[in-house]
Structure 1
Amino acid sequence: MSLEKTLRNSDRPWFLDDVYQRILHGEIEEAYEAVELLEEHLEEEPDAEALAERVWAAALETASKWASDTTDTDRFYAALTQLEAVGIDAGIYTDFADVDDREGQRGALVLWVNTWENFDPEKSVPVMIPVAKRGPTGSTTEVATAVVRACIDAGLDAAIAEEDFVKVDLKWRHHVVPWDQAGGPSNTN
């Protein structure tokens, strides 16, 4: 069965869908990451790289629907750029330990490691984003307020949900780059 049919088949192996979703949501942005993940699950597959390229192409085809749109994902990254300028850094698909401390840093926020599993490119979902104070002055509430302000300025619906969480409604539509731009060699002739 072709990969395209396999990806559309509800009985497809879970790990193909996992790699596809990771690419579609930007958790995997480098071709080698998709290859390595497939190699972990495919002991008998002679060419995991070719399979990864085909899974990537399926994700790229899906993402082509919003390729020319400004998406909530773009707006979220714009908010992160604004926050970085005021000393609030972000970690995407990670935890606070991976957000390095730096001079002048006031705070940090993270999209947890598996947040991508909850994203839906067809509908907006509430995302709870933890925030933390860093540095000698200010408070977690001030960091959360700055995160909400930056998200609203970028065109997103956001609010403080708890002292150390901000809720942002996101229709996550990551812009998938072509396989070769992600560092993948061509396996097609």
Structure 2
Amino acid sequence: MISSAGEAIANASNAADVKLFTRSRAGMTLTAAGRALAARVPTLLSRWDIAFRKTQAAARMSEKTLHVGFLAAAANEATPEIVAEFARRRPGWKTRMRQADWGDPSAGLAQGLVEAAILRLPVPDAVGLHIRELFSEPRWVILSAAHRLTGRDRIAASTVAWRVGEDADPAVRDFVSCCVDVIAKN
């Protein structure tokens, strides 16, 4: 019985009219053609994943459903008020909240699982994300007495607040606007 992966490989080999593997009693080894294909498969799969996630996002938006990722305590008590304000501004739209664990600092945004997210900064690898800082909280640091920064009352941390990109869906821009407005009045 041939597995579906084996069948797919056999179909690809036949379609390209090339031999991708050599088989022996010791096992299978890639041919030069097989190595050329194998070198391109990770890029192909990555692009497929991006296309698939963009397709899912387009379907959600056409159904007037905004998926919002969040991390625990990212906006605390303001989250329900943000969602209510979005519902007021976008009648007929649904908001689906998706809680992410701390292992995903983008709360699903970087992977395309959600269209917007309420996060805690910093977000590593924020390339391609438009970040708008809603509020900041005091942070503390404990230094040794010999540290060069000891004795300062304040140590500045660089923060960056970006606008939501013009290419963002209007519903995403509205949701970010709701976040900013609710946090500003609290």
TM-score band by shorter chain is: under 0.3
Give the number of the structure whose alpha-carbon radius of gyration is greater.
2
Bigger fraction of residues in helix = 1
> When the two structures are superposed, what TM-score results if normalisation uses the length of structure 2?
0.26
Bigger fraction of residues in strand = 1
> When the two structures are superposed, what TM-score results if normalisation uses the length of structure 1?
0.25
